Homo-oligomer: A and B are copies of this chain.
Amino acid sequence: MAQDDKTNGRNVTLEDVVRLAGVSLATGSRVMNASPTVNSDARRAVEKASAQLGYVPNRAARSLMTRRSNAIGVIIPAPTSRILMDPFFLMFFSAIGTELALHSYQLLLVMPQSFDEEKHLERYLASGHIDGIVVTALHGDDTLPERIAARGVPVVVSGRAPLGARASYVDADCRSGAAAATAHLLAQGRRKLATISGSLDMPSAMDRLLGFRDALETAGIAADPALEAVGDFSQQGAAEAMNLLLERRPDLDGVFVASDTMAAMAMHVLQGSGLRIPEDVAVVGFDDQPIAQTTEPPLSSVRHPIEAMSHEMVRLLLHGIEAPDNQPRQVIFPTELVIRESSGGLSMARS
């Protein structure tokens, strides 16, 4: 019967394997877990039988014993709406997923849509169903990471955790990256520099703004609040911010934008106003996403090493799972300024 396919001859279990291999369950289990204390003959027999039968360990049974789920959750906290739309997250998921797959961990995507859901989630996470958590797109006042950590589940925040939070995080050195981008604009002789920032309740947004100010201060240029606008990481927000800036300071000659997605939109607005990039206004973005290479002109941007950072997050998490010590760790990766044409920093000699 067709509808019996699934259970037909039911799923093959370790018992089936060891029976075929002629060893005991214990030995079979040892082989599956790469225990060193097993005769190579036995090992081969088990492996052969396993392959022959197409055995796949039952995760539920294993979890029940080991109290591990071999799954880690990636959480985007509730007030997520607009920022979620940044394709940056896709790269991030992909990088984390690849890294996890290497360790045969699963990636659980969790996107609570309300605070109620998030509350429920918290209990759920704490009950041993997920071995570790990556929290991303965290807003400043959210104590979710600490609450989870307090329940003994390893957590790592992607991006700097809020000041004073006792949580592990992995981040790029956004502040100095932003400062480098701004310094680069200054080096091109630009003096009327504006910035479009992300939502300022997000540390990553704040860091980029602070870096911008740092560079101005270093150069001895007084900060002008009218040259700072918030774009909240959305394209729409960026368009509004750029228009606002142009209205307030029509003579601005450079813009540092806190994400490439926003920068692309800002460029669009600038060009729509008849301004040339980089001749009239130089632009630098942040993230060095693929879009930076396809804007016209190509967008200078601050690159952060997503793969390396993802790798580190997973490493921290797995470490926290293997050897829990509740010590928050912070790892900061350096950024790199990638200069393209939008900032006028390239020799114009390109054919």
Interface residues of A (CB under 8 A from B): 2-3, 5-6, 11, 54, 56, 58-64, 69, 71, 74, 80, 82, 84-87, 89-91, 93-94, 97-98, 101, 106-113, 117, 123-124, 126-129, 151-153, 234-236, 239, 265, 268-269, 271-272, 289-291, 293-296, 324-326
Report A56 CB to chain B, min CB distance, Å: 4
Is B296 a contact partner of A326 (Cβ separation < 8 A)?
Answer: no
State A107–B108 Cα separation when bound (angstroms): 6
State A54–B106 Cα separation when bound (angstroms): 26
Contact of A294 among B63, B236, B293 (CB under 8 A): B236
State A139–B93 Cα separation when bound (angstroms): 21
4 new A-B pairs (CB below 8 Å) besides A98-B113, A269-B296? A3-B324, A108-B109, A236-B290, A239-B294
List, in ascending order, chain B residues with CB within 8 A of A91's CB: 85
Contact of A325 among B3, B61, B272 (CB under 8 A): B3
The residue in A62, A98, A239, A294 that gathers the most chain B C-beta atoms within 10 A of its C-beta is A294
Is B129 a contact partner of A113 (Cβ separation < 8 A)?
Answer: no
Tell me whether A235 and B290 are in contact in the complex, defined as CB-CB below 8 angstroms, given that A87-B86, A93-B109, A109-B97 are known contacts: yes
State A2–B82 Cα separation when bound (angstroms): 39
State A117–B71 Cα separation when bound (angstroms): 17
List, in ascending order, chain B residues with CB within 8 A of A98's CB: 111, 113
Is A6 a contact partner of B107 (Cβ separation < 8 A)?
Answer: no
State A6–B90 Cα separation when bound (angstroms): 32
Is A293 a contact partner of B108 (Cβ separation < 8 A)?
Answer: no
Is B93 a contact partner of A85 (Cβ separation < 8 A)?
Answer: no
State A127–B16 Cα separation when bound (angstroms): 15
Tell me whether A294 and B87 are in contact in the complex, defined as CB-CB below 8 angstroms, given that A11-B128, A113-B101 are known contacts: no
Is B85 a contact partner of A290 (Cβ separation < 8 A)?
Answer: yes
Q: List 18 A-B contacts (CB under 8 A).
A: A5-B326, A6-B151, A59-B129, A60-B129, A71-B108, A80-B94, A85-B290, A86-B87, A87-B90, A90-B90, A93-B109, A94-B111, A97-B111, A101-B112, A101-B113, A109-B109, A236-B294, A265-B294
